[in-house]
Structure 1
C-alpha cells in the first residue's frame, strides 16, 4: 500500500480511537468518555433500592437470576464475606434490564474529540471548578502537599467524572454489578467487582443503600470501581471510613492517591500544546514513541505559547485529530491520567480543564470541525485494512 494511504488510514483510526474505552485492569472507573454528559440514571432513590421502579423491573428478570444470585452468595461466603453482610447487601437485589441495555449499546458514529471537549471543558464547568476549588481550597492544598498532585487536576477529574458530584448516577452498585455478572458482556470482571463491593461493605466504609453510582459499577464523586476503591481509596477526614459518596476530603485524597500510585511526578506538568515543523513525520505521534524534550526540540517541536518545552525525560507527541488539529507534547503525568481512564480524549480533557480552572490558557489551535465522524463499521474496515 502506498505510504501516504497508510498515513491517512492511521490518522483516521487515531481520530476514531480517541474515544477508546478505559482499561479494565487499571482504570479507576469503567466510563466511556462520552459519559461526561449526565450519567444514565435508574430513576430510583439511593435509599429505596426496593422501590416501585425496582419492582417493575424485577418482573422482567429471568427466573434463573435468583438461582444465580443464590449460587453467587455461596461463592461470596466461601471467600470470607459474613452472613450479616450478605444479608444486608444481597437480600432484595434485583435484576436491572436497563443495565444490560446500556452495556450492549454503542452509538452508530464515533464522537469527534472536539465535540467531547466542548462539553468536558465548557465555560460552565470551568467556572464551577474554580468555585469548588475555592470552596475546598484548604482540603485541596492539603492533599496536594500530601500526594504531590496539583489541586486543579483532582478538581478537574471530579468535574469530568460526576460534574462535581452533581450526578454520579443512582444505580445501586450491587444491583448493577449483579446484573452484569449474571448476563453482561464481561461477566467474570463484574463477578470480581461485585465481590470487591461486598468487601467494601464488610469493612464498614459504606452501607449497601448508599453504595450508588453508574450502570457500570463506578461509584461516588470520582467514579471508582470497587476494586480501585479497595486499592486506592483513602480516609481523608480521619473518621475511620473511606466515603467517596459524601466526604470531599475522602474524595480528594482518594483521587490524588490514585494518580500518585499511577506514577504522577510532582512538579511536572501533564503536557503542553506545541507547534510542529513543516515536514514533521506524523507517524511519530503516538504514545509509544518517546524521546526527551531536548530531542523533540531538535526536531523543531516548540511550545505554541513560546518559551522552552517542559523538561521531560520521556515525552510523546500526540495529534488526536491528525495534521489538521492541535498537537501536544505529553509526559509521564499524562500517562498517569490515562491510568485513571485510558482514553486520549479523557486525559486531554482533564489536563485542559485543570489548566482553565487554574486560570491558565486552554487549547489555542483550531480543531478540524468540518471533518465528518466515522461510523463504527468504517472504523472496523480501516482496522482490517491495517492488519
Structure 2
C-alpha cells in the first residue's frame, strides 16, 4: 500500500510476476547529504539503529533479537536499482489482471467472509469489492507474498545511502513488531522493499492501521484473511475513502464531447457530463452532484469512465494511471458491473516513437518529466494541449497522427 513511503508488491501482470511498486517507480531526487545515518560499518550502523529504537521506548532486548544476524542482501539492492518500467496499455493490462479466475476467487472470498466485510464497511466505510480487488492485485489473495527476509531487506535499504530517510523508520517499526510478538525476524518474509502480507504493507503502516479481525490478539497479515480485510479497510479509510460513494463508473460517449475537458484534472460535476450526453452504462445518475473526471485510458475510441473523488485513494495506493484504473475497474466488476466495452482505439506509439513525441513536447515547452517512452500523466496533459492547439480531438491519447502533426 502507498502513503509517503509505503510500497506495494503489485502481483498483477501474471499470478507470479510482481509489478514495481510506487516506492520503486517514483524515484525521489537524491539529497546532497542523507538526513539520517547510513553506510559505513554494519555493526556500528546496527548499534545506532538499536540506540534509536531504545530511545523510542522499545526494549533493548527486542532490538537485540530483531537485529541479531542481520546482513546486507545484495539482491535487495540490485532490485532497488534495477526497477522495471510499466509500458502496457489499459486494455492489455486490465485484460490480464481482471481474469475470470480472480473474479471467481474474489467473489468466493466476499461470500466466505461476509461478516468481516460487513464489519469493515460499517466501521470504516469501505465496501467489500474495493478491498477484495486490492487483495487480488497485490498478492493473488496471498499466493505471492515475496520470499525476501523482511529484516534483512529493511536493513539493506536503511544502511544504503540512496533512501535511508525512507527505510530507517520502517526498520525501527519492525523492531517494535518484534517487541510486540507480531514478527519473527529470522523467518518473516515478504517483498524486497520490506512489505509484508497479503496486502503488502510496511511495518510502520501495520503498526498504525493493523486490526485484529480474528480475535487472536495479534495482527497477522500473512495468514489471517480477517485481519487482512479489516486492516486494508482501515488503511483505505485513512486515505480518504468516502462511504457510500462510487469510485469509477463506465460510460458511453456522444460524438461531440468536449474532450479538452477530459482527464484527471477536470473540474466538472457528474451532472455536467450527463448533460453533455455522457451516459453511465449502469444507468445510475444518483451521484450527479459529485465532482467527476472523464478518463479515456486509450483515447476517445476506447473504454471511457467517470472517476469520482474516491478514485483518489487509488492514486494514493499507486501512481500508475493504468494500474489504478484497472484496480478501480476490477472493483466494479466484483460489485456486479459487466465487462467494459473495448471499443476500437486508435493505434498507439511504440517506445521509441513515444520518446520522440515526448522530446517534441518538451521542446514545445511542456513538462513531460523524464523522456522514458511511457504515457504518464504529464505527457497526457501535454498531448491534450497540443491536440487542442492543432484542432484535433483532445483526448490525451498518443497516436502516430499526433506525432506526424508535430
For the superposition of Structure 1 and Structure 2, which TM-score range results when normalised by the shorter chain? 0.7 to 0.9
Distance 1:377 1:105 in 2: 20
Task: Report the counterpart of residue 339 of structure 1 in structure 2.
Answer: 316
- Which of residues 195, 210, 213 is equivalent to 1:218? 195
Greater shift, 205-214 or 97-106, is seen at: 205-214
- Which of residues 128, 132, 135 is equivalent to 2:109? 132
Residue 193 of structure 1: SS of its match in structure 2?
helix
Does residue 38 of the first structure (1) align with residue 16 of the second (2)? yes
Distance 1:106 1:367 in 2: 32
The alpha-carbon distance between structure 1 residues 329 and 37, as it changes in their structure 2 partners (threshold 3 A), is: same
Q: Which runs of 5+ in 1 are unaligned?
A: 1-21, 41-61
Contact 1:103 1:185 in 2 (8 A): no
Contact 1:114 1:367 in 2 (8 A): no
What is the root-mean-square deviation in Å for CA atoms of aligned residues? 2.9
The alpha-carbon distance between structure 1 residues 66 and 321, as it changes in their structure 2 partners (threshold 3 A), is: farther
Normalised to the residue count of structure 1, the TM-score between the two structures is 0.79
Residue 173 of structure 2: SS of its match in structure 1?
helix
Distance 1:337 1:122 in 2: 20
Report the CA distance between 1:163 and its aligned residue.
0.2
Task: Report the counterpart of residue 14 of structure 1 in structure 2.
Answer: none
Residue 230 of structure 1: SS of its match in structure 2?
helix
Contact 2:292 2:307 in 1 (8 A): yes
Greater shift, 270-279 or 368-377, is seen at: 368-377
How many residues align? The count is 345
Q: Which runs of 5+ in 2 are unaligned?
A: 19-38, 368-406
- Which of residues 87, 92, 96 is equivalent to 1:115? 92
Contact 1:154 1:255 in 2 (8 A): yes
Distance 1:38 1:295 in 2: 43
Residue 291 of structure 2: SS of its match in structure 1?
coil
Does residue 79 of the first structure (1) align with residue 36 of the second (2)? no
Distance 1:202 1:383 in 2: 53
Identify which of structures 1 and 2 has the higher relative contact order when contacts are C-alpha pairs closer than 8 Å and 6+ apart: 1
Normalised to the residue count of structure 2, the TM-score between the two structures is 0.75
Greater shift, 293-302 or 307-316, is seen at: 307-316
List per-residue Cα deviations over 1:328-378 (Å, max 9, x = no partner): 111122112322333322332222222323343122233648434435855
Distance 2:346 2:174 in 1: 42
More helix by share: 1
Task: Report the counterpart of residue 29 of structure 1 in structure 2.
Answer: 7
Distance 1:97 1:234 in 2: 33
Contact 2:72 2:156 in 1 (8 A): yes
Residue 215 of structure 2: SS of its match in structure 1?
coil
